[in-house]
Chains A and B, each alone.
Chain A
Amino acid sequence: DGGITQSPKYLFRKEGQNVTLSCEQNLNHDAMYWYRQDPGQGLRLIYYSQIVNDFQKGDIAEGYSVSREKKESFPLTVTSAQKNPTAFYLCASSARQDRPYNEQFFGPGTRLTVL
């Protein structure tokens, strides 16, 4: 079955440590996205990638880094520079279509807690 997998489901990190969240898709989508969700805030875009070896900052990229070496994978690193990293992180993908209908498919999410 096609879809998006994120691992791990729950992640605990000590302050000052970097941590990497995994996102893999087998939908053959060119575009991938990382969102952060805080209570009462909705989803905010961290980074997105429209094609392999290219990515762009979203609205809240500070303290995060990404790579896109393969079409299927878009890992997100939460660095120690991110001041408030405790949140729910969602990965999504979509076809690279320059028209309004561009449904994004989401993974199950990773809940990160900084101890």
Chain B
Amino acid sequence: AQKITQTQPGMFVQEKEAVTLDCTYDTSDQSYGLFWYKQPSSGEMIFLIYQGSYDEQNATEGRYSLNFQKARKSANLVISASQLGDSAMYFCAMRETYSGAGSYQLTFGKGTKLSVIP
């Protein structure tokens, strides 16, 4: 079973509008972390936002916020006021405290390609 599921292969959003990118996860750990990364066409992975499983507040970083629903095991990324530079691939990732290949492994979803329309 996939540990990270991103069900939207591609999304379109009008410039200046908000967009939500979905991410659901599967873990039996109580302590885990959820990350979102942005990958522009250049290929480099850029860290956007982090949510810990024990964090009571939803994480926010500028125009990025994470809609964390622990009971539903979802960690959706919300981008407000979209800009043309937001066009990129977006990956959700999880770090479990005890993962099979070592406790420092990040497990990534397959990503969502976001296109911002002028």
Contact = CB atoms under 8 A, between A and B. Distances in A.
Given A42-B108, A50-B102, A100-B31, A92 B45 contact: yes
A50 B101 CA distance: 12
Contacts of B104: 31, 33, 48, 50, 94, 96, 102
Contacts of A111: 43
B111 to A, nearest CB: 6
A81 B93 CA distance: 29
Contact of B110 (A41, A56, A102): A41
A43 B108 contact: yes
Interface residue tally of chain A, by bracket? 20 to 34
B110 A40 contact: yes
A45 interface: yes
Interface in A22-65: 31, 33, 35, 40-45, 48, 50, 56-59
Interface in B16-73: 31-33, 35, 37, 42-47, 50, 52-53
27 contacts: A31-B104, A42-B4, A42-B111, A43-B45, A43-B108, A44-B108, A45-B106, A50-B102, A56-B102, A57-B101, A98-B97, A98-B103, A99-B31, A100-B31, A100-B32, A101-B50, A101-B52, A102-B104, A103-B35, A103-B47, A104-B47, A104-B106, A105-B47, A106-B37, A106-B44, A109-B43, A111-B43
Given A104-B106, A109-B43, 8 more contacts: A43-B93, A45-B106, A92-B45, A94-B104, A103-B47, A106-B44, A108-B42, A109-B44
